[in-house]
Each structure stands twice: as C-alpha cells, then as structure tokens.
Amino acid sequence: MHEALTAHIYAIYLFIIIMLFNFYSVINIDDFMKLARRLKFMTPLYHLTNAVIMYSGAIIAAYAHSFSLKVILMIPVSIFLMVIEIKRYKKMRVIKTSDENLQNEFKTYAKKIYIIEIAVLFAVFLLVKVL
C-alpha cells in the first residue's frame, strides 16, 4: 500500500513538472510553430501522467476502502484538468502559421490555462492537508 501511495505522489510531481515545463515553454518560445510542436509532443505525456494519477488514486482509495471528501474532491479535479487541457490543445490545433493575431491570443489563453491548472493542483494539495 505504501509503495502505491509513493508511486501516486511521484506521478503528481511529474505532472506538476510537465505543467511547469509547458508554462515555461509558452512564456519563453516566441516562434509559434516551435511552441505548437513542443506542446503537441507534451500533450500525450500530460494525459498519460494524469491517467496514471487517476488510476493509482482509484486503486489506493479502493484498497483502503476510503471514499472520503478528499477522494471526492480529487475525482472532479482530475477530470477538470483533463478537459481544460483538451480545450487548450483544440484551440492550438486550428491556428494557422500565418495568423499572428490568433497565435498571440493562444499564448495568452495557454498562460491562463497553465496558471489555472497549477493553482488548482496547489489548492487541492492544501485542502487535502487540511481535511
């Protein structure tokens, strides 16, 4: 049981690192095509890590027979993070190389998305420590 919890926590750390890397990329890469290529590469890794977190969390909760407020909170948060990342990817996917206005709008949008994602994870961390 302890090993499963440790793996779950390490997956969360990896998830945060991926988010921070994507946020860093959005801030520092000026060429949209390079940014889009990098984010396109990182998106499956993001979703895989989120799936590992959701799956390991479900296994831990089932094994411990624990369906507490913490678990109830973590389920919609995981789904929310998945949905807003899909929305970010869909918005990025339709932007053409010649449309600089949409590219700039996307960068602003992506920054907001990553700030929201990091804030949500931090809020869940704080709530889990309090509950």
Query: What was the pLDDT predicted at 4?
Result: 86
Q: What is the pLDDT of residues 20-73, one digit of tens each?
A: 999 999 999 999 999 999 999 999 999 999 999 999 999 999 888 878 888 899
**pLDDT > 70 fraction of the chain, expressed in percent and rounded:** 100
Query: What was the pLDDT predicted at 65?
Result: 86
Query: What was the pLDDT predicted at 97?
Result: 86
Tell me which residue range forms the domain holding 77: 2-130
Domain count, the chain: 1
Query: What was the pLDDT predicted at 86?
Result: 96
What interhelical angle do 32-63 and 69-93 show, nearest 10? 160
Cβ atoms within 10 Å, residue 117: 24
- How large is the average pLDDT for residues 88-102? 92
Query: What was the pLDDT predicted at 2?
Result: 84
**Are residues 78 and 85 in contact, defined by beta-carbon separation less than 8 angstroms?**
no
CA distance 120 to 85: 13
**Are residues 57 and 108 in contact, defined by beta-carbon separation less than 8 angstroms?**
no
**Mean pLDDT computed over every residue of the chain:** 94
Q: Does position 1 have pLDDT exceeding 80, yes or no?
A: no
Q: Does position 91 have pLDDT exceeding 90, yes or no?
A: yes
